Amino acid sequence: MTETTLLDVAYVRERFPALDDIALFENAGGTRVPYTVIERLRRYMTENQVQPGAAYASSALGAERIRESHRLMAEMINATPEEVMVGISTTMNVYLLAHALRPGLHAGDEIVVTNMDHEANNGAWRRLAEHGVVVREWAIDPDRAELDPEALEPLLNERTRLVCFTHCSNITGSIHDVAAITRRVHQAGALVCVDAVAYAPHRLLDVKALDVDFYLCSLYKIYGPHLSLLYGKREHLLAARGQNHFFIGEDEIPLKLNPGGPNHELSAALGGIIDYFDALHAHHFPGSNAPLHQRLGACFTLIAEHEERIAEAFVDFLRSKPGVRIIGRPTADRHRRVPTFSFVAHGQDSEEIARHCAAHKVGIGAGHFYAKRLVDALGLDAPHGVIRASMVHYNSAAEVERLIRYLDEVL
């Protein structure tokens, strides 16, 4: 890769249908999918939509297509296929994981959750209090809207079993130092469960580099179909209690954790995410035959630079508005945040601002986005939560100009 390689946004945008419908800045809620995902879905539904895994050709090929996608998802996050479970959503994956870990937790054992996380990595853990588990809250500093690692220290002790926190908030976009926090939690003798849903669309995922115990991301926010990925270290998944039928063995991971299993055609379509990144890589780095995880790394380097570039104008705009309070770091710095921006406008209804933009074909959101504990902790002076504008790499500088133009009419 040369220093000057920039993301070719026109090339990117041609790979996604319907991007010109609206300028979409609600990507943290769910991203568009590229043609490659749709093509794998079409192919599976056309050629393989029978019970997979039987001897007849369409069924055997169907099972192989699902297996291939599963393997690619594991490689995408630098894991092995037995360490990865494809589930229907992150919310459901955490719910299943909490049930699977519960038999290993005893009355008086402690877990730590935050008031910054989306409720998916919160409620299922907090409910373990009904079984005698002590739940401690790692609370944000409301002025900075950040988790301070120092504030975790007094919550760790010899009874701590698990610390659940977010790689990146779906409201503030701030990135946490997951590797450092995980090291500290491991020193204290506990495990971590990290929500990477808001981080995953923007950066290379690498569970081995982070040394996390459990890690989650929603594939429909990474340009894929509506499914989710749960990673767990092999020894932890083996030790977790199976949630599936009695005849599914405790050593059958990930199947034992996944009653009902994920949707077949969507599972088969997941490989289309990798087809897309492969095309992106080949376009920008012709002739390279680097391994998949490295190819993805090269793509995400371009993506992070592009996202930072288009976000800069938006941060400058928000900062120029005296009535606007940015929630989190007022910077586009890609080392400190992803381009998910939330703010409130003093005395203005957040929902009305979102409606004004929608009328001009600019899609932004308003509300708490299921990070209700975080929004409640912020003490906002605007009705209907925060306004959120979240960018991904297919957004263009012209779209950001459009976003600014219509926000400028009301802020």
Measured from the CB atom, the residue of 317 and 370 that comes closer to ligand PLP is 370
Q: Taking CB under 6 A as the rule, does residue 90 contact ligand PLP?
A: yes
Shortest CB 290 distance to ligand PLP, Å: 30
The one among 31, 78, 91, 267 contacting ligand PLP by CB under 6 A: 91
CA distance 261 to 263: 7
Shortest CB 233 distance to ligand PLP, Å: 20
- Concatenating the DSSP letter of every residue in 74-131 gives HHHTT--GGGEEEES-HHHHHHHHHHHHGGG--TT-EEEEESSS-GGGTHHHHGGGGG
**Binding track, positions 40-79, relative to ligand PLP; x by CB under 6 A:** ----------------------------------------
At how many degrees (to 10) do helices 292-319 and 57-76 cross?
Answer: 60
Overall residue count recorded for the chain in this entry = 411
Residues 176-205 that bind ligand PLP (CB under 6 A): 195, 197-198
Residues 108-137 that bind ligand PLP (CB under 6 A): 118, 120
Host H or E run for residue 21: none
Question: Which listed range, 88-96, 174-182, 260-268, 372-380, lies at the site for ligand PLP (CB under 6 A)?
Answer: 88-96
The one among 31, 115, 228, 395 contacting ligand PLP by CB under 6 A: 228
Measured from the CB atom, the residue of 72 and 120 that comes closer to ligand PLP is 120
Q: Taking CB under 6 A as the rule, does residue 140 contact ligand PLP?
A: no
Residue 332 vs residues 29, 149, 201: alpha-carbon distances, Å:
20, 22, 16
Count of residues near ligand PLP by CB under 6 A:
13
Measured from the CB atom, the residue of 350 and 390 that comes closer to ligand PLP is 390
Q: Taking CB under 6 A as the rule, does residue 170 contact ligand PLP?
A: yes
Say which DSSP state 259 is in: T
Question: In the 3-class helix/strand/coil scheme, how is 146-208 assigned residue by residue?
Answer: ECCHHHHHHHCCCCEEEEEEECECCCCCEECCHHHHHHHHHHCCCEEEEECCCCCCCCCCCHH
Measured from the CB atom, the residue of 149 and 367 that comes closer to ligand PLP is 367
Whether the bond between 149 and the residue before it is cis, its omega within 30 degrees of 0, is no
Residues 281-310 that bind ligand PLP (CB under 6 A): none
Binding site for ligand PLP (CB under 6 A): 28, 89-91, 118, 120, 170, 195, 197-198, 218, 228, 370
